[in-house]
Amino acid sequence: MTTVIVGAGRIGSSVLEMAIEADTDITVIERKPQRAQELESSEHCRVINDDATDRDTLHKARVGEADAIIATTEEDATNLMVLMLASDMGCEKLVSVVHKETNIPLFEQLGATIIENPQRLIAEYLFRGIQDPGIQDFMHVGDAESDAEVFELVVGEDAPIVGQTLEEADVAGLLPPSMIVVAVERDGEIIIPRGDTEIKIGDFVTVFSKDGITQDVTVPFGPDEDDRTSSAEHRSP
């Protein structure tokens, strides 16, 4: 797979690391001379120090022959222009960061895969860690109006669902009808959940919830709010 990465800042550098690990044929376009020079010492990617909004630069990067282009700059206008040119040159897989919500429709019209406002995603991830430490990871599903999320929970020692099968938990009313247990990870093994799958302490449970991360969904897998409050008060000096 050949990929062109536009921008080698914080986001672009992380994408580059992942692409290298995946043994991808990579070309990086970086406008800042110093950053481009730093990357040129790497044997894992080809580096072009130029403006990616210039069609000649994209020709040098062979965008028309690439399987994908990923725009990671901090300017939506730059990212959009790059994707428009790349699409015109024949690159079909377009991926970009989008910083302002109002610009999303412009990228969607191109058929681009977008990551919306990475700074906000990081902030939300950190805040979720305060709200519910049991939540390990999460992802929004659907459009901006949707509350649906996929997230991972660690089953606590005092969780109501411990020792029960998913079918038993459902009959007992522990699992809201708007949620589905998608996967269970235990001792490094991924278990495809069935009705007879028993939930154990320490399981990493991946959940889809149409209503997002709500207390009705999280409580069965960990202590309820009263227990958390009591525990916190007990730990306080």
Per-residue pLDDT, 106: 94
110 lies in the same domain as 134: no
Per-residue pLDDT, 57: 97
Per-residue pLDDT, 126: 58
> What is the pTM (predicted TM-score) of this model?
0.61
21 lies in the same domain as 91: yes
Per-residue pLDDT, 233: 39
Per-residue pLDDT, 235: 35
134 lies in the same domain as 108: no
128 lies in the same domain as 231: yes
61 lies in the same domain as 138: no
The one-digit pLDDT tens for each residue of the chain (237 residues) are 899 999 999 889 989 999 999 989 999 999 999 999 999 888 889 999 999 999 999 999 999 999 999 999 999 999 999 999 999 999 999 999 998 889 989 999 999 998 876 666 656 655 665 556 566 666 665 565 667 888 888 998 889 999 999 999 999 999 999 889 999 999 989 999 999 999 999 999 999 988 888 888 888 998 544 443 333 333 333
| Cα-trace Rg, the chain | 22
Residue 116 and residue 101 in contact, taking contact as beta carbons nearer than 8 Å:
yes
Domain residues for the domain of 18 are 2-116
Residue 115 — φ and ψ, nearest 5°? Answer: -115, 115
How many structural domains compose the chain? 2
